């Protein structure tokens, strides 16, 4: 069973990554910082199958962006 504080910790980590990606500034630095908030998470941190699927998609997107970084921020 997953504890409430674990859920809050995961939520806070993902919200921080989201906030970093939405801020202005160098896209490469924002992407790297946001990626740090997420890549350490593993399946055993996820409370549901849906959360695990979402984490898998987010990690895949971060890896794609790492290999092909955006040239500039989207407007």
Interval 3-54: pLDDT, tens = 677 677 778 888 888 888 888 888 888 888 888 888 777 766 667 777 778 7
pLDDT of 1 > 70? The answer is: no
Structural domain spans, the chain = 4-67
pLDDT of 56 > 70? The answer is: yes
Is there a contact between 70 and 27 (Cβ–Cβ < 8 Å)? yes
Question: How long is the chain?
Answer: 75
CA distance 50 to 26: 32
- Quick check: helix, strand or coil at residue 67? helix
Residue 68: which of 27, 10, 34, 40 has the closest Cα? 27
Give residue 72's pLDDT. 62
The number of angstroms, rounded, from the C-alpha of 48 to the middle of its chain's C-alpha atoms is: 17
């Amino acid at each position: 069973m997953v504890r409430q504080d674990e859920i809050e910790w995961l939520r806070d980590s993902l919200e921080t990554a989201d906030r970093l990606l939405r801020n202005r500034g160098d896209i490469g630095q924002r992407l790297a910082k946001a990626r740090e908030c997420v890549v350490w998470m593993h399946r055993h941190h996820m409370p549901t199958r849906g959360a695990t699927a979402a984490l898998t998609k987010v990690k895949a997107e971060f890896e794609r962006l790492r290999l092909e970084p955006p040239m500039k921020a989207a407007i």
